[in-house]
Structure 1
Amino acid sequence: MMRLARLLFALVLAVCVLPSARMLVAQQSTDPAMLVADDVYLSGENRLTAYGNVEALYDGRRLQASEITYDQKTETLIIKGPITLHEQNNTLILADSGELDRDMRNGILRGARIVMQNQVQLAAHAMARRDGRYNKMYKAAVTSCRVCKTGRPPLWQIRARRVVHDQQEKQLYFDDAQFQIMDVPVFYMPRLRLPDPTLERATGFLIPSLHNSTQLGFGVRVPYFIRIGDHKDLTLTPFISANSLTLEARYRQAFRNGRIEFEGAISDDNFGPRSTRGYIFGHGAFELPQDFNLTFNLEAVRDDTYLLDYGYSDKDRLQSELAIERVERDEYIRGALTHFYSLRSGESNSTLPSIVGNAEYERRFHPDALGGEFRFSALAHSHYRSSSSTTDVAVPDGWADGRDVTRLTLNGDWMRNWTLPGGLRARVQTGLALDSFHIAQSGTLSRSEATETTPSAALRLRWPLLKTERGGATQVLEPTLQLAWVGGSNPNIPNDESTLIEFDEGNLFAMSRFTAPDRRERGLTGAYGISWTRIDPKGWQASFAVGQVVHEDRQLEVSGLETFTDSSGLNGKFSDVLFAGQFKNDNGLTITARSLFDDAFDTTKAEARASWQTDRTNLGATYIWLRDDPRENRFGNVSEWAFDASHRLSRHWTGSAEWRYDVAQDRSVRAGVGLKYTNECVDLALSASRRFTSSTILAPSTNISFTVGLRGFTTTTNDKSYVRTCRN
């Protein structure tokens, strides 16, 4: 019977509801109207009524109601609720009753409510639709908070005499608007405009934030977002505080083949060396023809303490760079021009390499005749100091403080692997390198020109042993032995690039552990080590490695000074013993540690990191210890702890904390706490931090900030776990 009724109604619909066939032919862009119901009947010649699970679909709109009556003479739909109207832009309209035209573009809905993006709700006594574009709501309330039937008001809402929703421009216009918190009016605005949640970008004010600092005093930030176009925008943020006037800015633009972003600020204050200070940071990336990528990074500041005073960055050395790069399976090309600027007290930018240029090329070949792999690389490097001094001064490396160095390196290596009886893996490597140096303003202690040819050869043996336990766990034990020889000698040139050496499991079996070719390990060298790894199917795994490097002769400079620093762990014939390990499980716990021990089993360097991550908790602790070493500009032991933590205290509350403690100096470096409340309609964040460090140009400071964000307008609610539930 129901099926027969639907067929009859479809026939009647074609005759009565859609009599204007010419209109449908003229509007080929719209789909024909459809109406489905449990039952239909005719009242006279011009009135058709459908009731019981009624659905009407037309031009992308879907109307659901308990009863719909279509009057052909007036071409109107008389609808009894509950009414649900689905729009194309993820907007849902609910109402108790209403009258609409045949296209559902004009009419009035009583007891109406609009839900946009499943977040923002607009409720009103009545709503008038005009041209399918404007929804005019009278005595309306707007909120993104969950509204329950308990009668309790939402956390926040905007009440207005009238609200107009422009669906085409995606804007909300308020007349006589009141912002209320828990039904208490906070402030009044005769006119207000807000973008609806379906609009991703719109010009207007963003949520302000409050700040208090011992240096800046109490202040407020009021961001203003300017939509310049679909692919670029500008955000201006006046920051007005008791001791400073600041204008912050951020510019972003997206291109067809890349993007750029700049941010900066300019301040007028009375506690810095200059009355007007500022900074600018910027970065960008572009795709170029033939798979090349262009990147740039800009960092500049007008005063050394400005970034820390205003909390913009903790950087004490700024780096600006322009680079072009291409990475392929068998080829690597990169060129970069870099500018460095130090903010550290006691460092002179005139005697530091401020402009550095690098060009790299590497190519892999697989010769059929020899087998294995052949690698060719070419590197060009140059760095420039603005100082013109040629006098040798008392600096850690003992060279002239105005020297400029240019280096060219050509290198060719051939390597091949074999599998020997018993599963023993053998690797042979041989190569030849050519290094050429030119030093300007070199002083009297070094040559101004130097060229060195370096032949090399190495044999490495690995014996991977695999064991599978009954429970499915896998263990891998791998002893490794390497014997290497590097010819030539280090020329009498300054050590500008290989000043800081990191000895770890990554370069234990390298031909040279220096970071650049201005220094190489020479002579006969041996390295040995053993690694163990266990992977358990229960979700945890552990690894451990130990190793050491042995030199036939000490690595010495021309002056007789040890090439490696005391704290590098590599000076002398026998290096320090390297220990490294890691443990992690599927409960989120990860522990990593690495240390160097000398022949008296005293620690040279040590670092450890432990972290635990779950759905509610994130804990981390780091410890580092470095022995004092004047040649690395470290005139005292470094011993420091760092802690960071965050924990979701409840559904809506999250706490966080951080702390850095200098054990060697027995004082705190930085500490901070934060508390955040989040639900489906609001973000409240309160944080406090203290910087304890001080110098001749920097004073300790305390900062407190408070930020409010209205979800639905400023941010989306993707995590549904923060949404409140209604209780009966």
Structure 2
Amino acid sequence: MDSSRNLHSRWNCKFISFGGRIMGFSKCIGSQMLEKIYPKNIFTFKLIFFLLMTGLNLVNANTSYAERNQHFHENVLLFADEVIYDDKKGIIKAQGNVEISQAGRIIIADSIVYRRNNDELSARGNVTLMEPSGEVAFANYVKLKDQMKEGILDKLLLILNDNSRISANSAKRINGTRTEMNKAVYSPCELCPENPDEPPLWQIKAMKVIHDLKARDIAYRDAWIEFYGMPFLYTPYFQHPDPTVDRRSGFLAPSYSNSSSLGFELTTPYYWNISPEKDATFAPSFYTDGGAVLSGEYREHLGNGEIRISPSITYTDKLDDDGNEINGNEFRGHLFSDGHFEINDIWEWGYKFERASDDTYLRRYRIKSEDTLLTNPYIEGLNGSNYAAANAYFFQGLEENDDQGQIPFVFPLAEFSHISKPGWNGSYRTLKTNLMLLQRLEGTDSRRFSIEGSLHLPTKSKGGHLWTGSLNLRADLYHVNNVINRRDPLANTSSGLTGRIRPTALLEWRYPLIKRQKTVNHILEPVVQGIFSPYGGNPVEIPNEDSQNFEFNDSNLFSKSRFTGLDRLESGPRINYGIRYGAYGASGGRTTALIGQSARLKDDDTFGLGSGLEDHYSDYVGRLMVEPSNYFSLAYRFRLDKKTIEARRNEITLRGGPDYLKLHLGYALLDEQLSEVETSGFANREEMVTSVVSKFTDFWSISADLRRNLTGSGGTVSWSSGLKYEDECFLFVTKYGRTFTRDREVEPDDTLIFKVLLKNLG
């Protein structure tokens, strides 16, 4: 075979090239030899070919490691069914399942021609270009050079990282970081599978689209935004970040609303990417009947913690309690902030800050509907079984009858608890201390130190009986000022030192009975608990600051003390008894139930009328929880009169349904209950809350909710309904609702909210 024929023969072989020259080869067989071994048209070899794109000299043994890395990085890796190599002209032609890669870029095509001397590559037929960034381009024809960083593309389809697409008649690549596309269309929307020729939900058509990989921007010149192929909005220039950008400064999607009290509203948020550790959002809102409100949020991560600040301010007309304008203007606003920081593996600290200029500002501008604002700095530490914390609490009352001078502030509230390691026969000890300083500008002050030690002994006897015994001693020392006598409010107030010492013994017996079946396991457990402590312990000189929110229910049936705080003690010998039941299915479903009662030798006037604990025998309390599957759950909690079995407290929560129809129903009945200092109580409270959400297609859903006061003087509190469409590229939300509550200038209000978001644009 002569040399010229050898240079142009077809090869099916492996060879390695370095520095522009062949360094070695293996299994290199000429096509004439293959024809002798295998019949024509049935044998195809895969060729793997490394070739340096720049004309470098042969690298000798003295070439440095860094230089070799550079050379190999510039090499080309080629896969093909057939290759024609002309070494004199420096031309490589490959066809049939061609795949070529260099510097992280990969091209797949039916055929390619590579001219080594001027580093030029052209590809035809089903061309696919994959970038190191993850983007994929499809074209009919591609011509590239300079390590595939420069070139032109014909009939381009570009798929970005988030699966959005740009199609163009032609495109030009510049330095591997910039693609300029002519007569291009951008859309992140999927095409309809039934009608793929139809235009997407929305798209941007532009005479020129520039994708700058270095700046990570996509810019449009002379562009139209279209919906279902119909022009909607023209812009001479438009720009948004490409999908590789996690966050960047710019305007966010605006929102629109209309309410009967504030008029039309437009909110145009702007996001400011200050640095990788901090950012901010400015969200000015403009109302036709409420002026302008400047609001925002600042967020920062500080390495050992994070902080968030949310302020707002407006300068508007003064209003009286009926919402009527009076002479003059005023500043109104609020400031919320919270932070959390780690000191070390044990200690952390943080704060929550809430403050408003006046009582009704937050509700008028629909910022928050709470009736009390809380400021709470804290520090806490956890080390094994030791826990310590210190808190301060400052409150701002927002109700009409709140007197800020009589609202307490607590500084500090410190506590420590310790649980020892198990000792003899599993016994263990606990220690708790508590320090509270509560002050008012007007009224009662209370300073308290409490210490409590306990010894616990859990054990199990023959037959599976579980016993728990504990001995407890608690001491409380108070220094108080201006304490009103709860039994005789007209008597003189008390001031000075007071205190108490309270020993308590507890013995609890449980006997869990288990029955196992193929698909369900049953557990039935009777529980009896005896508590022995002296009578009394709640003298009139000790104010009740932290135990007012008392409610007898299933969660505290077997508690040593049913009060939420330390200012009140449950006294006297008493016994608590009940029975628990649970059924647990093999597929994950479960049903649990509890019912029980408490009995005492003597009445305890610490519990007010209607509490369910004021007599020798308490009301019955219990719960029923049913959750057979992920599509249905029922929770029922109750308190039944001990004599008539009438409901004194009912709470029902029902959730169920698949995505196309989800229902939530909540019902609550709370009977009249007096505290220890009240002579007349509130009327029965009865309320219902219900909501339904129906996702009736893959993208459309509707919702509705209703809250109603069911007492005689009640009525509808609020209701709303909404419509939502959301797919991979578009979000549309509208909601209409009405509130019926009134608080001074805040009147019943109708509100319509409207929001449209073109996803992927920022």
TM normalised by structure 1 equals 0.90
Q: Structure 2: how far apart are the matches of 1:177 and 1:164?
A: 12
Equivalent residue for 1:695?
743
1:305 corresponds to which of 360, 381, 392 = 360
Equivalent residue for 1:511?
560
Secondary structure of 2:282's counterpart equals strand
**Which letter does structure 2 place at the counterpart of 1:619?**
L
Q: In the alignment, is residue 103 of structure 1 matched against residue 143 of structure 2?
A: no
Higher RCO, Cα 8 Å, sep 6+: 1
Output the aligned Cα RMSD: 2.4
Q: CA deviation digits over 1:579-612, x for unaligned, max 9?
A: 2111111142111111112233232222111111
1:623 corresponds to which of 667, 682, 704 = 667
Q: Where do residues 148-163 of structure 1 align in structure 2 (5 Å cutoff)?
A: 150-163=196-209
Q: CA deviation digits over 1:478-520, x for unaligned, max 9?
A: 1111111123622321212111212223321221111112111
Secondary structure of 2:610's counterpart equals helix
Q: Structure 2: how far apart are the matches of 1:204 and 1:698?
A: 34
Q: Structure 2: how far apart are the matches of 1:704 and 1:28?
A: 65
Equivalent residue for 2:345?
290
Q: Does the 8 A contact of 2:259 with 2:752 survive in 1?
A: yes
Equivalent residue for 2:621?
578
Q: CA deviation digits over 1:256-305, x for unaligned, max 9?
A: 22212222322234474564321222222222113222222121111222
1:235 corresponds to which of 281, 284, 292 = 281
**Which letter does structure 2 place at the counterpart of 1:259?**
E
Secondary structure of 1:359's counterpart equals strand
| 1:264–1:216 distance in 2 versus 1, CA, 3 Å | same
| 1:150–1:592 distance in 2 versus 1, CA, 3 Å | closer
Q: Structure 1: how far apart are the matches of 2:168 and 2:612?
A: 75
1:51 Cα shift? 1.1
**Which letter does structure 2 place at the counterpart of 1:565?**
G
Equivalent residue for 2:12?
5
| 1:30–1:326 distance in 2 versus 1, CA, 3 Å | farther
Q: Structure 2: how far apart are the matches of 1:570 and 1:614?
A: 42
Q: Structure 2: how far apart are the matches of 1:618 and 1:320?
A: 37
Q: Does the 8 A contact of 2:282 with 2:295 survive in 1?
A: yes
Q: In the alignment, is residue 279 of structure 1 matched against residue 334 of structure 2?
A: yes
**Which letter does structure 2 place at the counterpart of 1:203?**
S
TM normalised by structure 2 equals 0.86
* Bigger mean CA offset, 5-14 vs 497-506: 5-14
Q: Does the 8 A contact of 1:123 with 1:141 survive in 2?
A: yes
* Bigger mean CA offset, 179-188 vs 374-383: 179-188
2:453 corresponds to which of 412, 416, 435 = 412
| 1:446–1:530 distance in 2 versus 1, CA, 3 Å | farther
Q: Does the 8 A contact of 1:307 with 1:313 survive in 2?
A: yes
Secondary structure of 1:107's counterpart equals strand
Q: Structure 2: how far apart are the matches of 1:157 and 1:257?
A: 44
Q: Where do residues 557-706 of structure 1 align in structure 2 (5 Å cutoff)?
A: 562-598=605-641, 599-631=643-675, 635-664=682-711, 665-706=713-754
Equivalent residue for 2:468?
427
Q: CA deviation digits over 1:627-665, x for unaligned, max 9?
A: 223537952111000012212111110111111010003
**Which letter does structure 2 place at the counterpart of 1:649?**
F
Equivalent residue for 1:351?
406
1:38 Cα shift? 1.1
Equivalent residue for 2:537?
489
Q: CA deviation digits over 1:656-676, x for unaligned, max 9?
A: 111101000341101111111
- Matched length: 692
1:328 Cα shift? 4.2
Structure 2 gaps, min length 5: 1-9, 23-48, 60-65, 321-328, 485-491
Q: Does the 8 A contact of 1:359 with 1:379 survive in 2?
A: yes
Q: Structure 2: how far apart are the matches of 1:293 and 1:212?
A: 44
Q: Does the 8 A contact of 2:667 with 2:687 survive in 1?
A: yes
Equivalent residue for 2:370?
315
Equivalent residue for 1:395?
none
Q: In the alignment, is residue 330 of structure 1 matched against residue 385 of structure 2?
A: yes
Q: CA deviation digits over 1:240-260, x for unaligned, max 9?
A: 221121222111112222212
1:28 Cα shift? 7.0
Q: Structure 1: how far apart are the matches of 2:119 and 2:75?
A: 16
Q: Structure 1: how far apart are the matches of 2:585 and 2:511?
A: 22
Structure 1 gaps, min length 5: 388-401, 556-561, 715-728
Q: CA deviation digits over 1:169-214, x for unaligned, max 9?
A: 2111222222222233322222222111110111111111111111
Q: CA deviation digits over 1:386-409, x for unaligned, max 9?
A: 22xxxxxxxxxxxxxx11111111
Secondary structure of 1:452's counterpart equals strand
Q: Structure 2: how far apart are the matches of 1:617 and 1:60?
A: 49
Q: Does the 8 A contact of 2:152 with 2:171 survive in 1?
A: yes
Q: Structure 2: how far apart are the matches of 1:47 and 1:414?
A: 90
Q: Structure 2: how far apart are the matches of 1:357 and 1:569?
A: 34
Q: Does the 8 A contact of 1:119 with 1:712 survive in 2?
A: no
Q: Does the 8 A contact of 1:6 with 1:39 survive in 2?
A: no
Q: Structure 1: how far apart are the matches of 2:422 and 2:264?
A: 70
| 1:226–1:28 distance in 2 versus 1, CA, 3 Å | farther
Equivalent residue for 2:123?
79
2:493 corresponds to which of 442, 445, 448 = 445
Equivalent residue for 2:578?
529
Q: Does the 8 A contact of 2:410 with 2:436 survive in 1?
A: no
Q: Does the 8 A contact of 1:91 with 1:115 survive in 2?
A: yes
Equivalent residue for 1:724?
none
**Which letter does structure 2 place at the counterpart of 1:583?**
V
Q: Structure 1: how far apart are the matches of 2:690 and 2:637?
A: 18
**Which letter does structure 2 place at the counterpart of 1:522?**
S
Q: CA deviation digits over 1:392-441, x for unaligned, max 9?
A: xxxxxxxxxx1111111101011111111221111110011111111133
Q: Does the 8 A contact of 2:54 with 2:117 survive in 1?
A: no
Equivalent residue for 1:543?
592
Q: In the alignment, is residue 36 of structure 1 matched against residue 79 of structure 2?
A: yes
**Which letter does structure 1 place at the counterpart of 2:400?**
S
Q: Does the 8 A contact of 1:341 with 1:354 survive in 2?
A: no
Bigger radius of gyration among the two: 2
Q: Does the 8 A contact of 1:408 with 1:435 survive in 2?
A: yes
| 1:258–1:548 distance in 2 versus 1, CA, 3 Å | same
**Which letter does structure 1 place at the counterpart of 2:602?**
D
Q: Structure 2: how far apart are the matches of 1:152 and 1:357?
A: 68
| 1:445–1:602 distance in 2 versus 1, CA, 3 Å | farther
Equivalent residue for 1:213?
259
**Which letter does structure 2 place at the counterpart of 1:642?**
V
1:367 Cα shift? 5.5
* Bigger mean CA offset, 39-48 vs 202-211: 39-48
Equivalent residue for 2:323?
none
Secondary structure of 1:289's counterpart equals coil
Q: Does the 8 A contact of 1:354 with 1:386 survive in 2?
A: no
State percent identity of aligned pairs: 27
Q: In the alignment, is residue 385 of structure 1 matched against residue 440 of structure 2?
A: yes
Q: Does the 8 A contact of 1:258 with 1:287 survive in 2?
A: yes
Q: Structure 1: how far apart are the matches of 2:608 and 2:735?
A: 43
Q: Does the 8 A contact of 2:426 with 2:459 survive in 1?
A: no
Secondary structure of 1:5's counterpart equals strand
1:20 corresponds to which of 56, 72, 92 = 56
1:88 Cα shift? 2.1
Equivalent residue for 1:49?
93
| 1:663–1:381 distance in 2 versus 1, CA, 3 Å | same
2:298 corresponds to which of 238, 243, 251 = 251
Q: Does the 8 A contact of 1:17 with 1:70 survive in 2?
A: no
Equivalent residue for 1:364?
419
Q: Does the 8 A contact of 2:51 with 2:76 survive in 1?
A: no
Q: CA deviation digits over 1:324-347, x for unaligned, max 9?
A: 222344121211112111212222
Q: Structure 1: how far apart are the matches of 2:54 and 2:410?
A: 76
1:77 Cα shift? 0.4
Secondary structure of 2:435's counterpart equals strand
Q: In the alignment, is residue 124 of structure 1 matched against residue 160 of structure 2?
A: no
Q: Does the 8 A contact of 1:415 with 1:429 survive in 2?
A: yes
Q: Structure 2: how far apart are the matches of 1:78 and 1:477?
A: 78
